[in-house]
């Protein structure tokens, strides 16, 4: 669609019509033939506005008056927007740009993420949600993509973004995510990985191995046993004892990955970024195990975009890396060499706030990786609450303490509740300091679902309405907080000065 000279939207006319203060998101103002479209904010509500005439004016659903149509930010209207402005539709990262997953649990963080990306060539995954996150926030994957698409339009971001169905474990989940518009699938194969194998003694290992089908054993042994393979400047030998453990640990997962690839990824009419997650285990992924998996994926003709090993050390939610950074770097060199050799990129999960290892990633992988963040944008929203509405923060903090035990069932964290300063001793102006404390950060991070969705005895949400109302009123400040926080990530990762 050809774009003509710039037009304007009559804000005063809209204020008279909507009977409230109206502001225009200037970057959204777009002229399509005889129709001008833009994003406005009326009170605390955002709308699409179409002025003039033409196909997009007719197709958008809304209330028309004097050649001005005010349209809700519905899923149907998002699809119309995608048709006429393709940059608002998620796409795969076909050029293999360095990428970052910026999952927005709230549907409000993408504008701030866009600010942070300015001046970089990083490919963003603005829509990134797992089934667990969708359940905790009472959203659908369509909701997530809708919010990202409208934010892209609002901010005039035209450089492309992706949509990740994150940590999906079942064929039907993947099918649904692709139907909803996912351009990336992160396959979590943890339910097919046997975590008990790595801790077996030699006798137990041999007994389990001999119980495996002989044809499987002979196949793998013939391909890999006691063979040496070059990896970067090193050589890795797949000795038989290690190979036995890897076969028992991963062979069912490899079968599952191949099935999902052939059923859902390969037949797709559109490019899909296919990520393999093997990080949801207690045992770090040995580089030899990674090599075995890489060689098997190649043998099975499974093409992947990224792979997430379980790196050495602790990648806990919302806090910095815990572990020996020198050992992390030593193993990362091998993992990166394997990924490069087999033509995919490494993915770092729970990557938010891992500031101590970001320079190592930047130096070792030189930009060719994917980093996943998610909950950190929620924590910046909570920081906003602490700064702007202390009474609401105090209530949320108290409720998080009550719900911490329930939330721990879903996350691996080492939070020490006893080390969090007593709320009653804190002055209002000191409340934001909780967001700089690891224990408090994890408390607030993992209880987000309860803070958003818990209700009182009448069924009313305890905090959700007040929380989102504050975000709407303070949206510029929220953008600034996110810009600063994500910019720190990007700078240390080598993408931004």
- Please report the pLDDT score of residue 7 as a whole number: 60
Q: What is the mean pLDDT of residues 126-139?
A: 94
- In the three-class reduction of DSSP (H, G, I as helix; E, B as strand; rest coil), residue 128 is classed as strand
| Pairing outcome for strands 35-42 and 30-32 | antiparallel
DSSP state of 202: H
- Please report the pLDDT score of residue 348 as a whole number: 97
Mean pLDDT computed over every residue of the chain: 96
CB atoms within 10 A of CB 301: 10
- pLDDT, tens digit, 9 for 90 and up, residues 215-270: 999 999 999 999 999 999 999 999 999 999 999 999 999 999 999 999 999 999 99
- pLDDT, tens digit, 9 for 90 and up, residues 29-49: 999 999 999 999 999 999 999
The token duo for 334 is 């091998």
- In the three-class reduction of DSSP (H, G, I as helix; E, B as strand; rest coil), residue 53 is classed as coil
- Please report the pLDDT score of residue 116 as a whole number: 97
Share above pLDDT 90 across residues of the chain, in percent, rounded to a whole number: 95
Q: If pLDDT is split at 50, 70 and 90, which confidence band does 180 have?
A: very high
Asked whether residue 286 is assigned to any structural domain, the reply reads: no
Asked whether residue 473 is assigned to any structural domain, the reply reads: yes
- Please report the pLDDT score of residue 6 as a whole number: 52
Kindly tell me if the per-residue pLDDT of 429 is higher than 50: yes
- Please report the pLDDT score of residue 395 as a whole number: 98
Q: Which residues are annotated as a binding site for a divalent metal cation?
A: 167, 317, 349
- Please report the pLDDT score of residue 246 as a whole number: 97
Catalytic residues: 166, 275
The token duo for 189 is 């194969």
| Domain boundary pick from 22, 57, 74 | 74
Asked whether residue 102 is assigned to any structural domain, the reply reads: no
Q: How far is CA 229 from CA 141, 220, 234, 289, in A?
A: 42, 15, 9, 13
Asked whether residue 390 is assigned to any structural domain, the reply reads: yes
- Please report the pLDDT score of residue 4 as a whole number: 45
Q: If pLDDT is split at 50, 70 and 90, which confidence band does 280 have?
A: confident
| Domain boundary pick from 74, 96, 116 | 74
Helix and strand numbers, DSSP H then E, in the chain? 19, 16
- pLDDT, tens digit, 9 for 90 and up, residues 181-215: 999 999 999 999 999 998 999 999 999 999 999 99
- pLDDT, tens digit, 9 for 90 and up, residues 135-157: 999 999 999 999 999 999 999 99
Q: Which residues are annotated as a binding site?
A: 167, 317, 349
Rg (CA), the chain: 25
In terms of Cα–Cα distance, which of 107, 114, 189, 102 is closest to 140?
A: 107
Place of tokens 């396959």: 187
Q: Which domain holds residue 42?
A: 11-74
* Domain total of the chain: 2
Kindly tell me if the per-residue pLDDT of 82 is higher than 80: yes
- In the three-class reduction of DSSP (H, G, I as helix; E, B as strand; rest coil), residue 149 is classed as helix
Asked whether residue 322 is assigned to any structural domain, the reply reads: no
Q: Are 290 and 309 in contact (CB under 8 A)?
A: yes
Report d(CA 423, CA 417) in Å as an integer: 12
| Domain boundary pick from 20, 40, 74 | 74
Q: What is the mean pLDDT of residues 475-496?
A: 96
- pLDDT, tens digit, 9 for 90 and up, residues 335-389: 999 999 999 999 999 999 999 999 999 999 987 899 999 889 999 999 999 999 9
Q: What is the mean pLDDT of residues 57-66?
A: 97
- Please report the pLDDT score of residue 3 as a whole number: 44
In terms of Cα–Cα distance, which of 120, 43, 127, 118 is closest to 82?
A: 127
**Predicted TM-score (pTM) of this structure:** 0.95
Q: How far is CA 125 from CA 31, 156, 183, 196, 490, in A?
A: 27, 16, 9, 34, 14
Asked whether residue 19 is assigned to any structural domain, the reply reads: yes
- Please report the pLDDT score of residue 117 as a whole number: 97
Asked whether residue 111 is assigned to any structural domain, the reply reads: no
Asked whether residue 235 is assigned to any structural domain, the reply reads: no
Q: What is the mean pLDDT of residues 314-331?
A: 96
């Amino acid at each position: 669609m050809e774009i003509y000279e710039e037009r304007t939207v009559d804000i005063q006319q809209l204020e008279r019509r909507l009977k409230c203060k109206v502001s225009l998101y200037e970057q959204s103002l777009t002229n399509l033939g005889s129709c001008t479209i833009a994003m406005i904010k009326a009170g605390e509500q955002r709308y699409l506005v179409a002025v003039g005439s033409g196909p997009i004016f007719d197709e958008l659903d809304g209330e028309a008056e004097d050649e001005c149509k005010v349209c809700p930010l519905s899923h149907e209207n998002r699809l119309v927007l995608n048709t006429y402005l393709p940059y608002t539709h998620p796409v795969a990262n076909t050029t293999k740009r360095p990428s970052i997953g910026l999952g927005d649990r709230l549907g409000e963080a993408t504008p701030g993420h866009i600010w942070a990306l300015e001046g970089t060539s990083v490919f963003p995954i603005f829509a990134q949600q797992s089934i667990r996150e969708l359940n905790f926030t009472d959203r659908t994957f369509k909701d997530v993509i809708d919010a990202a698409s409208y934010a892209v339009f609002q901010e005039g971001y035209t450089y492309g973004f992706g949509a990740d169905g994150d940590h999906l474990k079942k064929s039907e989940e993947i099918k649904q995510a692709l139907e909803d518009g996912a351009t990336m699938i992160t396959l979590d194969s943890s339910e097919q990985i046997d975590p008990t194998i790595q801790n077996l003694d030699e006798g137990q290992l041999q007994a389990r191995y001999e119980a495996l089908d002989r044809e499987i054993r002979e196949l793998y042994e013939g391909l890999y046993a006691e063979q040496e393979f070059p990896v970067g400047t090193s050589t890795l030998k797949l000795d038989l004892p290690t190979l036995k453990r890897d076969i028992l640990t991963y062979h069912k997962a490899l079968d599952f990955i191949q099935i999902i690839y052939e059923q859902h990824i390969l037949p797709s009419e559109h490019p899909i970024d296919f990520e393999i997650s093997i990080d949801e285990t207690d045992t770090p992924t040995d580089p030899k195990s990674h090599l075995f998996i890489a060689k098997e994926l190649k043998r099975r003709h499974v093409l992947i975009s990224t792979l997430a090993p379980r790196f050495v050390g602790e990648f806990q939610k919302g806090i910095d890396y815990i572990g020996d950074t020198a050992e992390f770097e030593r193993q990362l060199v091998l993992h990166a060499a394997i990924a490069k050799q087999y033509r995919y990129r490494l993915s770092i999960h729970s990557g938010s706030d891992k500031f101590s290892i970001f320079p190592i990633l930047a130096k070792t992988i030189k930009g060719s990786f994917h980093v996943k963040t998610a909950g950190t944008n929620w924590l910046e929203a909570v920081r906003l609450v602490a700064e702007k509405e202390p009474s609401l923060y105090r209530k949320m903090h108290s409720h998080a303490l009550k719900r911490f035990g329930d939330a721990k069932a879903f996350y691996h964290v080492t939070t020490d509740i006893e080390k969090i300063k007593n709320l009653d001793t804190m002055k209002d102006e000191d409340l934001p300091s909780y967001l700089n404390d690891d224990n408090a950060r994890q408390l607030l991070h993992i209880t987000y679902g309860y803070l958003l969705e818990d209700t009182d005895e009448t069924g009313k949400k305890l905090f959700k309405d007040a929380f989102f109302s504050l975000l709407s009123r303070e949206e510029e400040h929220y953008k600034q907080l996110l810009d600063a926080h994500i910019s720190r990530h990007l700078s240390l990762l080598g993408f931004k000065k």
